[in-house]
Structure 1
Amino acid sequence: FFKQASQFGLTREVKLVTEILELENLKAVGEAMTGTIGSSRYPFTVDTPKNRDFVKRFHAMHGIYPDMFDGETYEGLEWLAQTIQKAGTADDVEKVIEAWEDSTYEGLEGPFFMRKCDHQAVQPGFVVEAAKDPKYPHLIPKILATYPGDKVTPKCRTEDFA
C-alpha cells in the first residue's frame, strides 16, 4: 500500500498513519514510507544511556540496528533474569511470579512496572514518524511524542469488565 500510495502521489496530499511503525517495515518498504506516522513500543532511536549502549553493542554484534522485537526481547529477558535472581530460584514458578508482581525495571526506553492485577507490563509508548537521517542506511523511527506507561496502558479490568 505505501509504495502504491507514494507512486500515485497520495503522500503529497495526505499524511499516512499506521497502527505500528516498525523498523523492519521501514527497511522493506523504503522511502515510500517517509513521513508516515505510527506508534512504537520500542524505537531504537530512544535517547537514554541504557538504550544508546544497547544499540551500539547490538549494531557491533549484528551489523544492523535493533527492531522492536530485538529491543523488547532484550528487555523481557533482562527483567526476567532480575526477577529470578530476586526470587532466588527459577524452579518455583509461584516464587518467580510473586517476585515479578508489582516490580519495577529500568527498560531501554524508561521505567517499566509489572502490575499484579493482570501481569501486564506498563511501559512507555511512542508516536514516531518514518524519517531520513544521513547517519543510517534506511529510514528511522523519529520520535514525535513519548507517553508514560500509565497513559498508554488500559487500567486493570474489574469482574464486570468495566
Structure 2
Amino acid sequence: MFKEINGLPGHILVIHAAVVFVPLLALLASAYGLVPRWRPRLAWAVAILSVVTPVITWVATESGEAFEEFLKGKNYPPQLLAKIEEHSEYGDTTLWLTVGLAVAALVLLALTSDRVRTPRLPSWVSWLLTGVIVVLGVFALIYVVLTGDTGAQSVWGNTL
C-alpha cells in the first residue's frame, strides 16, 4: 500500500508533506498557547494540523518502512543500510513526538475554547500545557531535521 504511488517510491513523495506540516503544527500550536489574543484566529488551523499532521507523519514512516524493506532486498553496502536504519529510527521518534505534540495541542484547544464545556481550571494549567507544546515542538523540529538530513545523506552523501 505504501510502497509506490503512480510508479514512484511513495516515501519520496509523502515526506515532503511531513517536512511542511510538522513545523507548521509546532509553530502554530506554540503561537496559540503563547499569544492568547491570537487563539480565535489560530484555533481552526491548530485543530486541523493536530489531526492531519500525525496521519501524514505515520504515512511517511510506513512508506519509509516499505522502502527500507525494498532496499534490503537489493545488494546495497552495509554502511548505506546502517544509514538508512539510523534514518528510520529518527523517523520513528519524529512520529511519536508529532503525536504527543498533536495531543497536547488538542487538549489545550479543548481547555481554552469557548465551544467546549470544561471545568474552570487555574490559568497555570494552560501555561504548563503551552510549555509542553513548546518543548515537544522544538524536539519535533530537531527530529524532522535529523530525519531529513540522514535520509538525504544516505541518498546524496558522496555525490555532491
* TM-score range for the pair, normalised by the shorter chain length: under 0.3
- Name the TM-score, length of structure 2 as normaliser: 0.27
* Structure holding more helix per residue: 2
* Structure holding more strand per residue: 1
Q: Which has the higher contact order (CA 8 A, sep 6+)?
A: 2
